[in-house]
Chains A and B, each alone.
Chain A
Amino acid sequence: EVQLLESGGGLVQPGGSLRLSCAASGFTFSSYAMNWVRQAPGKGLEWVSSIPASSDYTRYAASLEGRFTISRDNSKNTLYLQMNSLRAEDTAVYYCAKAFSGWFFDFWGQGTLVTVSS
């Protein structure tokens, strides 16, 4: 059974940093691209970032303006999202999602809430 378990969310002040983790199990993690998608409270889904299985490139939403970094450790079956210079508008539930048939998302974690507030 595929499982994705996010952690690392919480309350952080504007300008602060957080690192999210997503522990994967139930599939060959090193063979699949992975993604982060977020959802602000009461809002729709917003793609954040993607990384292929080999980590040879990364992609980000323009709204992040270079503040976030996606990475993965295939030896630990774990996906990461380093978030710096956080802003109130980054407040959201952050989901990790396994890529499928290109860049669709067939399995999602339960999400971790990031709240940016003073």
Chain B
Amino acid sequence: ESVLTQSPATLSLSPGERVTLSCRASQSVSSYLAWYQQKPGQAPRLLIYDVSNRATGIPARFSGSGSGTDFTLTISSLEPEDFALYYCQESNNWPLTFGGGTRVEIK
């Protein structure tokens, strides 16, 4: 089982700032990594798949990078609607696993 560790647990930032979220896997997940955004009371939304591909309708300010065991989600300039929880997920191995999440909150 691949364990995904996200850091930091919480980020306190202001609109307009650049944010970088980390996801580290306990074993290689190749390029089978995705990022999701979840707001309170809502289902998660797919942002990025296969490390760096934006899902349909996702703004260009969201980007993903990395390979093997270390991955990053970058939001180039935070918009008010970006304050939320973010999860990474890998699909290279069974069982599928999610990271513990990073909360991006308003400073």
Contacts and interface: CB of A to CB of B under 8 A. Distances in A.
A45 B100 CA distance: 8
B55 interface: yes
A47 B95 contact: yes
A110 B43 contact: yes
For the residues of A in contact with B, the DSSP-based class is: strand
Interface in B1-55: 1, 32, 34, 36, 38, 43-46, 49-50, 53, 55
Contact of B95 (A44, A59, A105, A111): A59
Interface stretch (B65-73, B75-83, B86-94): B86-94
Contacts of B56: 106
A118 interface: no
A45 B97 CA distance: 9
Contacts of B96: 35, 47, 50, 59, 103
Interface residues of B, number: 25
B101 interface: yes
Secondary structure call for the B interface = loop
Given A95-B43, A109-B43, A101 B50 contact: yes
A45 B87 contact: yes
A35 B32 CA distance: 17
Contacts of A47: 89, 95-98
Interface of B: 1, 32, 34, 36, 38, 43-46, 49-50, 53, 55-56, 87, 89, 91, 94-101
Interface of A: 35, 37, 44-47, 50, 59-62, 95, 100-106, 108-111
